[in-house]
Structure formats: structure tokens, C-alpha cells
Amino acid sequence: MTASGTLTPGGASPGGASPSAVRSGPQPPAVRRGVLVVAVVGALLLGFLVVTALVTRPAGRPALDVASAESDGTRALAQILRTRGVAVSPADAMPAGSAGQQDTLVVVGPGRLTHDALTDLLGRVWRGSDVVLVAPGNAVLDALDVGIATADRQPAGGGSDPRCALPEAAVAGSATIGGSRAFTPADGGDLGDMRLTLCYGDPPDAAQLAVLSPDRTDAAPAAGRLVLLGSADFLTNRELDRSGNAALALGLLARHPTLSWITPAADAAGGVGTRSAAELLPAGFRWAGLQALVVLVLLALWRGRRLGPPVPEPLPVIVRAAETVEGRGRLYAAAHARDRAADALRAGTRVRLAERTGLPVLAGPTGTPGPDPVALVASVSEQTGRSPSEIGSLLYGSGMPPQTTGAPSPLGRARDRYQSRHLPPDAARPAEPAASGVSGARRGTVGTGGAGRPGERDAALLALARALDELDRQVGGR
Amino acid sequence: MAITGRAVALALFGVLVVLLSPAPGLTMVLVDLVVVGLVGVDLALAGGVRTLEFTRSGATSARLGQPVPLVLGIANDGARTVRARVRDAWPPSAGARPRAHRVIVPAGERRFLETTLYPTRRGDREPFRITVRSLGPLGLAGRQGRHHCPWRVRVLPPFTSRRHLPAALARLREVEGEVAIRGAGAGSEFDSLRDYVIGDDVRLIDWRGTARRGAVVVRTFRPERDRRVVCVLDTGRTSAGRVGDVPRLDHALDAALLLTAVALRAGDRVGLVAHDSVPRVTLPGSHDHAFLARMTDAMARLEPAIVEADHGGIVSTVLRETSRRCLVVLFTELVPAVIEEGLLPALGTLTARHTVVVAALRDPRVDELAAGREDVRAVYAAAAAEQTLMRRRELTETLRRRGVEVVDAPPAGYAAAVTDAYLTLKSLGRL
């Protein structure tokens, strides 16, 4: 919106106010585009929320929970163990093991345990406890340092036979351990005084069950064991009654009267197998981020290179001509210069009335042009039918008219008629334009007692202005 | 040099390649090398910017409000085709559109670009700089350079009061007695003798003619021709005040143009003086009809100066420029302090030799303020406005007593009021 269309002298608006009000801010097309973008973003967000709500399962019990009767829970196993006299207690942290106590520890998700906790577990094995780790990863196996690693390849299908000399496996016969993780002796690994038995799957290259027992020469009363399960599927409610799964499970877990079913909390810090979000990202991601930085630099170069600099414009100094008048008005208002304002309003009205009634406007003794007071009052009074004293007080009074609050007045008729509540007909004063406004103001203030607050007296000025207007209209109109 | 969005898009595609690549580090280096290499090749193959030659043609002046069509010619003297974005930059008040052009100039050929100016202000406008970005064949990068091709467009005052011209000319014909309704006692210059008819003023009887002719004849008069009018523009600080949407000076220019148009038609000589603290423009009197165009041209570059007008200087400049009695129309503002201190002391010498009209613009905003009664603040503003009007009235009275005609009109009728004052003086034979 340029001002080119409005550069006409004496243009459409006499006040010059409305065309100078130029709309700023974004243009309608830009606003429409913004609304469109917001709408698209809103629609995408809504779609995302709907899809998320549809695909997310309601929160239930986690898999391998001893209290869960779901198909992936292990409640059946826990019940069987209890009937065999084993006390099964679920836990989310390692129980404080007392020396000499021999029990069974099942750790679901051993990757969440810290290095120290795993070392502690190994110590328990040496002290005679059974420790069963469900699907340990390489990180856990490295931390344990028992010379076992996960196998590179999956066990050949259908390998449900024990293929080993472990008594429990031999008793159970074929079992479907399931899962895809298998174990094999690590290259150059040191078993560390442990005896290794690999069962199921494809031993020794890819066994689904690995059992390590301390190879101690001193005759311990009951040797502990470290059992690595490739998967815990065969322990679940769904799989427990298949093949020899239940027998294998009881053989592995029921060797001690107490069993702790440990599921470490997911948010436990310091787990050897847990990886940060950055570690989970693909390797190319960081480089892609770096490349994105390069793109950002190029983008800055592209957008930053302008097609020539901005052009300087020598602007003329243009101010609104009426600004000084408005400023002086504000100064009057700030100083509550009522007397001066009232004088100016009266003088202006006097000249207008004189022009209308055809009286000559003469330069007064002070230089201010004005008509002959006596003639003006007489003429105006004749035209309006109002009393000369009232007119005289209105046009030639000085200072503020005093406020009256219902004081009886001999000229109440005129007051009612013109509703000049704040302008009671004062005692008719002869024309004295040069009379000091200060004395008038004092009279107004003191004479009425208590009407001296600036707000009220400003209201009196407003009333005076309206009364003068009314007079102006009466003389001009009829 | 400059790269384009395509180069950025290529690098962005590289992000995807790096993300999916098995060897991301190496891929990234390769991708960036490819981007840099292609940009380099594109730069090398882009047409030269320095070998371009620019020429301009088109209008050199226009009235404010009219579009100015301009043509920019590009000749490619280089060996390669130039695919370029060209920005012909003008100051914002020139309103050049479009902002930038796309053009393809084959080697040895020439193309023309059309730029239209929509000026928003009076005055001279000159192009700032031509910026050329010559893109390579792949559109990935380009060379950027600048050229200069001087031109000047003079934006003349709009002369919007031209619409008052027919009415003013009709009144002029009336004053001159060319139409049936004769203006009473029009003029003081002897025109011709005619037969006496009952009702003629006996003082107009030409006795010598009556004796020669044998019948009673009377002299007839017509308005003076070949009088002199001088428009004096006060370009001091008060002329910068904005009334409506334009500064006072522009209102004055408009009124001066209408006055000049009418005075030239009436056969008078018109001169122009623009003055603030120093004379800005001085055009000696002329009754050549082309004078209006010369005056418009001279007015185009006038700007309000933020200095106090030197009225003594104005008066002495006018006295120096004029030899015979003339009508001095002073376009100024009735600011009491300025007029009382500057103009009044110098006025005596001026009114002694010339007829003086002071043409002041009445700000409608002040009248609007004087009528404000909405709240107490408005009443205080009204009082301030009344006081201003009173001072103005006082000043007008003072000037009238000193024998100066005062025109005080709102913007809508300003030009017409000034011309009316001139025609009235002319019909009264006071020129």
C-alpha cells in the first residue's frame, strides 16, 4: 500500500486523518498462507495422535512376569515351582545375598545390570547359587568374562535335541528353547576355572543353552551354576507344556528352595547392555548431521547474497502541521490550565457570534480582536431569548463558573430550560475580558466550597464548552 | 559469485546419500567435493558480467501520479550466452516495478527490459545501480557484478488544481468583458469609444470624441493587460508542515500553478521566486505560454528547508527581480512569531511599490480540533486551537491594515481562492 493514490492536495478528507491511517503488518495473501501452514501442521499432528492411539497396546503386564497369566507370562512355571516347594519371589533389584545362602536367581534382561552386579552374580555362583541369565548379549558376556560369546550364526532349525551330557537336558529330552540367540566358546577365551556344557541348538558352534559350573577341586557341598539361556520362550505359559520344556525348566530352576525372579528396572543407569540413544543411531547419522551443517552454510550463502544493496532514500522532513496545536492542548490538559482554556474558548465563540450577528470585529485594547461587548450581549440575548446577564456571564465571565449543588437561583427557569446544570446564571458581570483569571478561579473554588478537585473542575470546563456550543448553535441555527 | 537454491538442494540430497551410505565419512567428502566441483564448473561456464553493456531510453519527466515507462537495453559483447537476473535499483520513492528481471542474452545480441516507475514523491529520481547475476548452464551458481547507467526522471508537481482551470478562465473572460454579462467597471485601461446610452456614467463621456463625432460617445475600459505577477514561495520550515497528506509547500505549488496558468492566459507576465534563508529558484517574468512548463520543471526540485525563512531577504529578492509595479503573491504560513518578526518590518517597502497578496493555507485539522467536545482533553485541545485561530485572525487583521490582501483558505479551495483573489484585483484594476 503506497501513498501514491492519496497525494492530492486538498484531497478527499478535510481532516487529513483517515488517509494517513495506512494499514501495516502482513498482507492478506501472507496471512492466508500462514493460516494454511498452521492448518496443515495441525492436521498432521492430529493424524499422528490418532495413529499412535491406534497402534499402541494398552499397558499390561510385561512379558516373562511371574504373576502374568498372559501367553507370554510365566505364572504357570511359578505355580509349578511353588507346588514343588520352591519359594518364588519377584524382584526388580538384586536381593542382598548373605554369604553361604544358596538360592536360584533368574535375571530377565541381564543387560540392564551394572558391571559390579554381574561380578557379584558370578561370585554367588562360586558360593553355590544358581544364576540363570535370560538371553544375555555380548556386553553381558564380556562383563562376566567367562569365555563365552554369542554365536555369529543361528542354530540350524529343528535342533530340539539336547545333544549334550547335562543330566537335566537328558531327562527333559527334546525342548523348544526358541529365540535366535545362541552361544559358542569365544575365540581365545578363557573359561576361568569353569566347566562348560553346551546343549540344544547346534553345539558347540551355536548352542541355545550354556551351563557353566565352577571346576573346583575342594569338595563343595553343592556347586552353583551359571546358566545362559538363548531365550526364555520355553518358560512362558504358552510353551511350557510343549515337548520337554517343563522338565527342563524344573531341572534348571528347582535346585534350591528359594528363587528370585529378577527383572531389573528399565531405567536403571549404568547397565552394561543398555545403550544411549546416540549409540542406537546408525553410523551414517553423525556424518549426515555434519552434511546437514554444510547444507545450512550453503543455505546461508544462498539467502545471504542479495541482488544489490538496499537503496538509500533522501527523505524530506515532513511533520503534521497541527502537531504544535495538539501538543499545546496536551500541555494545557497536563497543567489543568482551565482559566486560560476557558478564555480562549470564550474569545473564539465571541468572534464567531459577532460574525454571525453582523457586528464588526475590532482589535481590542490588548490586541485580541473581538466585537463590542455590550452590543454583542444585547444582540445575542435578543436572538436567543436568554437573559443578558446569563449571556454576559457565559461570554465574558472569567475563570471557571462556580459549581453549585442545588443552591436556589433566581434564574432557575433558564437553568432548567438549557440544562446547564453546571452553569448557574452567575450574578451578571459586566464585560471584563481583561479581568484576571486567577481571581475568577479563586472565586469559583472558594465560593462553592469543596468543589476544587481537578477532575470536577475539568468537568466544569467541559460543561462551559458545551454551553458555549449550545449558544453558538442557537444563534446560528434560528 | 553467488550460489542458487539448486546447489543447496544438491547438498541436501547429499544428506540422504550420506545417511544411507555404508561408508558415510568418505561419502560425505565425495558429495561435498561433487557439489564444490559442479559449482566451480558452473561458475567457469557462466557468461561474463563485465562484457555486458547497458543503455536506457524512455521518459525523462512525468507528473506525480503518472507511471513512467523506461526501457533498459542489455547488449552482450561476450563470447557466451548470459542467463541473468538483473535488478535495476531505484530509490524506493521512485516505485520501480518489477524489482528484478530474468533475461537470456545470447552472445553478440541485445535484449530490452521494461521497468515502470510509479513515483510517490516530487523531485528528481536517479537510478542507483544495476546488479547482474549471471548464472551458469547448470543453474547452480553465478557471477555477480554491477553496472552504472545514468538517467534522470523528473517527477513534476501533480497540478491537481487543473480541474479549477475552466471555471477560472470563465471568470477571466467575464472580467475581460468578452462575454455578455459585463463586469461592472471592469478595469482601468482604455479600450475603445462607443455611443452613449442612457444609464452610462456621465463622467465617462469623452468630450473630445463627442466633438469630433457629433454624437455623445463614452470611453470604455478593460482590465489591464501585460501586468506583472510574481509568485513568491516561502520554502522555510513552516512549509514542511503536512496538511492533509501533503506538505504546505505542495499545496502552494499547486495554487501557484493555477494562478500562473490563468495569469498567462490573461496576458500577464508571471515570475517565480522561491526563497527560504537563501533564494532557491528565481524565474524572471515571462508571458510565454511555455513558461508554465518551465515553472513546473523548476518547482519539481523544490523541497522544504528546515530553516527559518528570511522575510527581509524575500522582500529584497522580489524588489531586485522586479522593476515595474506588480502583484506579489506570497505563499507563506501565518505563524505570528515569524510574520511579526520577519515579514511586518519588511512589508512597508514591498507594499509601497507593489500590490501584495499573502496566501495562507488553513489547516482543517485545527478547525476539527476547535470543535472537539468529546472529553476534557478534547476541550483543552479545542482551547489551544481557538487560541491559534485567534492569533491568526489577529495577524490577518494586522496585515489587512497594512494594505495586504490575505487569502486564508482550506486545502480543498486553496488554489481557487488564490486565483479568485487575483481575478478580483484584476477586475478592480488594482494590478
Q: Residue B103: which CATH number? A: 2.60.40.10
Same domain, B116 and B236: no
Gap between the Cα atoms of B309 and B324, Å rounded: 25
Same domain, B213 and B234: no
Same domain, A268 and A353: no
| CB contact (8 A) between residue A10 and residue B2 | no
Gap between the Cα atoms of B323 and B230, Å rounded: 12
Decide if B165 is inside a domain: no
Given CB atoms, is B413 within the 8 Å cutoff of chain A?
Answer: yes
- Partners of residue B18 in chain A, C-beta under 8 Å: 284, 287-288, 290-291
Given CB atoms, is A19 within the 8 Å cutoff of chain B?
Answer: yes
Decide if A316 is inside a domain: no
Give the DSSP per-residue string, B287-355. Answer: --TTHHHHHHHHHHT----SS---HHHHHHHHHHH--S--EEEEE----HHHIIIIIHHHHHHHHHHSE
Q: For A381-403, how does the pLDDT look when each residue is reduced to its tens digit (9 = 90+)?
A: 888 888 888 888 888 876 565 54
Residue B184: per-residue pLDDT: 43
Which of A257, A274, A291 is at the close of a domain? A274
pLDDT surpasses 50 at B397: yes
Peptide bond into A204 cis (omega under 30): yes
Same domain, B218 and B233: no
Number of domains in chain A: 2
Number of domains in chain B: 4
**Structural contact between residues A322 and B363, judged by C-beta atoms closer than 8 angstroms:** yes
B351 min Cα distance to partner chain A (Å): 22
pLDDT band at residue A59, thresholds of 50, 70 and 90?
low
Same domain, A350 and A255: no
Decide if A468 is inside a domain: yes
Mean pLDDT highest for which of A48-62, A354-368, B213-227, B345-359?
B345-359
Same domain, B41 and B56: no
Same domain, B24 and B56: no
Q: For A419-444, how does the pLDDT look when each residue is reduced to its tens digit (9 = 90+)?
A: 434 444 443 334 344 333 333 333 33
The shortest CB-CB distance from B244 to any of A10, A285, A314 is to A10
- Partners of residue A293 in chain B, C-beta under 8 Å: none
Write the single-letter amino acid at A350: R
Closest CA in chain A for residue B1: A305
Which residues 261-280 on chain A approach chain B with CB closer than 8 angstroms? Answer: none
| CB contact (8 A) between residue A320 and residue B389 | no
| CB contact (8 A) between residue A307 and residue B144 | yes
Same domain, A268 and A344: no
The fraction of chain A above a pLDDT of 70, given in percent, is 75
Same domain, A266 and A351: no
- Give ∠ CA A165-A169-A172 in degrees, rounded to 5: 140
Decide if A38 is inside a domain: no
Angle between helices A437-448 and A454-477 (to 10 degrees): 110
pLDDT surpasses 60 at A445: no
Same domain, B218 and B232: no
- Partners of residue B7 in chain A, C-beta under 8 Å: 298, 302
Decide if B386 is inside a domain: yes
Closest CA in chain A for residue B86: A307
Closest CA in chain A for residue B371: A469
Same domain, B264 and B381: yes
Decide if B258 is inside a domain: yes
Residue of A6, A8, A323 to mutate, interface with B, max B Cβ within 10 Å = A8
Neighbours of A293 (CB within 10 A): 11
Same domain, A138 and A206: yes
Strands of the sheet with B279-286, listed across from one edge = B279-286, B269-275, B228-234, B327-331, B355-361, B405-409
Decide if A157 is inside a domain: yes
**Structural contact between residues A424 and A415, judged by C-beta atoms closer than 8 angstroms:** yes
Q: For A229-263, how does the pLDDT look when each residue is reduced to its tens digit (9 = 90+)?
A: 888 888 888 888 888 888 888 888 888 888 888 88
Weakest-pLDDT range from A80-89, A137-146, B55-64: A137-146
Same domain, B131 and B260: no
Same domain, A339 and A251: no
| CB contact (8 A) between residue A2 and residue B95 | yes
Residue A153: per-residue pLDDT: 74
Decide if A53 is inside a domain: no
Which residues 99-158 on chain B approach chain A with CB closer than 8 angstroms? Answer: 100, 118-121, 128-131, 133, 144, 146, 158
Gap between the Cα atoms of B304 and B276, Å rounded: 8
Q: Provide mean pLDDT across the span A165-179.
A: 82
Gap between the Cα atoms of B8 and A183, Å rounded: 50
Angle between helices A373-384 and A454-477 (to 10 degrees): 70
Name the residue with higher pLDDT: B185 or B30: B30
**Cell (9 digits) for A345:** 474558548
Same domain, A267 and A403: no
**Structural contact between residues A198 and A161, judged by C-beta atoms closer than 8 angstroms:** no
What's the DSSP call for residue A60? -
Mean pLDDT highest for which of A100-114, A173-187, B148-162?
B148-162
pLDDT surpasses 80 at B118: yes
Decide if B373 is inside a domain: yes
The fraction of chain A above a pLDDT of 90, given in percent, is 10
Decide if B247 is inside a domain: yes
Weakest-pLDDT range from A146-160, A214-228, A412-426, A446-460: A412-426
Residue A355: per-residue pLDDT: 83
- Partners of residue A285 in chain B, C-beta under 8 Å: 19
pLDDT surpasses 60 at A447: no
Same domain, A368 and A264: no
pLDDT band at residue A5, thresholds of 50, 70 and 90?
very low
Given CB atoms, is A365 within the 8 Å cutoff of chain B?
Answer: no
Reported residue count of chain B is 431
Same domain, B208 and B343: no
Which of A274, A293, A318 is at the close of a domain? A274
pLDDT surpasses 80 at A450: no
Give the predicted TM-score (pTM) of the model. 0.65
Q: Provide mean pLDDT across the span B68-88.
A: 93
**Structural contact between residues B335 and B284, judged by C-beta atoms closer than 8 angstroms:** no
Same domain, A227 and A356: no
Which of A227, A250, A274 is at the close of a domain? A274
pLDDT band at residue A17, thresholds of 50, 70 and 90?
very low
Residue B358 forms beta bridges with which residues? B330, B406
| CB contact (8 A) between residue A10 and residue B251 | yes
User: What is the span of the domain harbouring residue A269?
Assistant: 75-274
Same domain, B194 and B299: no
Residue A399: per-residue pLDDT: 58
Given CB atoms, is B410 within the 8 Å cutoff of chain A?
Answer: yes
Given CB atoms, is A311 within the 8 Å cutoff of chain B?
Answer: yes
Weakest-pLDDT range from B122-126, B199-203, B314-318: B199-203
Question: Is this complex's ipTM strictly greater than 0.85?
Answer: no
pLDDT band at residue A4, thresholds of 50, 70 and 90?
very low
Which of B103, B133, B156 is at the close of a domain? B156
Same domain, B143 and B199: no
Same domain, A257 and A339: no
Decide if A281 is inside a domain: no
| CB contact (8 A) between residue A332 and residue B384 | yes
Nearest to A250 by CA among A71, A82, A66: A82
Decide if A121 is inside a domain: yes
Closest CA in chain A for residue B387: A344
| CB contact (8 A) between residue B383 and residue A342 | yes
Q: For A274-310, how does the pLDDT look when each residue is reduced to its tens digit (9 = 90+)?
A: 777 767 777 788 888 999 999 999 999 999 999 989 9
Given CB atoms, is A308 within the 8 Å cutoff of chain B?
Answer: yes
The shortest CB-CB distance from A291 to any of B31, B133, B363 is to B31
User: What is the span of the domain harbouring residue B24?
Assistant: 2-45
B354 Cβ contact list (under 8 Å, min separation 6): B230, B318, B322, B325, B326, B327, B328
Same domain, A347 and A470: yes
Decide if A291 is inside a domain: no
Same domain, B88 and B111: yes
Same domain, A108 and A205: yes
